[in-house]
Amino acid sequence: MAGGGGGDSEYDVNINLTALLDILTNLLFFLMVGFMSSKASMELDGGMQLPTSTAQLEPKKAVQVTVARKELRVEKEVIAQLRDGKVVAAKSQEGKIDPLLQRLQIIRKEKNATGPEADILFVLCDKDTPYGLLRRVMMTAAEAGYPKFRMAVLMQ
């Protein structure tokens, strides 16, 4: 360091970053705690968009079904492919989606849950999904023992 200033072009300035680091660490800590405590985690596809709503209820954890633009998923597993709002190459009877029915029945059997929360499904659905497809998903879920739904929406 060139003491006393002068004609030298190089200055060695030591900024005390410790205080700033303290603030950042605290912020990081609170954000991470808030992130961990969120009751339901959800993963949205790149192209998937949820509709906006005036609903204010907080999401709670439940078995998650995703009706994306191109695929139908239960939790993170792809159950069927979708094209133009219809299920591709999935056998169905009486309007139900067989792969979805089987997967949900397996999950219900595995969890063997009882109580008021046991028959609730958390549904993430793209905003452009036609009701015909959503109705089939809901009908199939009801057949598998999940007649109640928590429809995910974005807060306005």
Partner 1 sequence: MSAPNKGIGAGLFGKESGTSYEVYLNLTPLMDVMSNLLFFLLASFGATMVAIMPTTVPTVASGESTPDPEKTEDSVNVTLRADGTGLTLKCESDTLAPDLLKDLGGKIPKKDGQYDYKQLTATLKSIKEKYRASKSVVVVPDDNVPYEIIVKILDAARDTRLVDTKNAILFPDVVLSGIATHDADGNLLK
Q: Given strand 77-83, what is the order of strands in its sheet?
A: 86-88, 77-83, 71-74, 63-67, 120-125
Nearest to 120 by CA among 57, 69, 71, 70: 57
- Residue 56 as a binder of partner 1 (CB under 8 A): the answer is yes
121-140: which residues touch partner 1 (CB under 8 A)? 122, 125-132, 134-135, 138-139
Neighbouring residues of 127: CB distance < 8 A, sequence distance ≥ 6: 49, 50, 51
- Residue 42 as a binder of partner 1 (CB under 8 A): the answer is yes
Q: Looking at residue 21, what DSSP letter applies?
A: H
Q: Residues 61-100: x/- map of binding to partner 1 (CB under 8 A)?
A: ----------------------------------x-----
Residue 147, phi then psi, degrees to nearest 5? -85, -5
Q: Kindly list the residues in this chain that would bind partner 1 in the complex (CB under 8 A).
A: 14, 17-18, 20-21, 24-25, 27-28, 31-32, 34-35, 38, 40, 42, 44, 50-60, 95, 119, 122, 125-132, 134-135, 138-139, 142-143, 145, 147-155
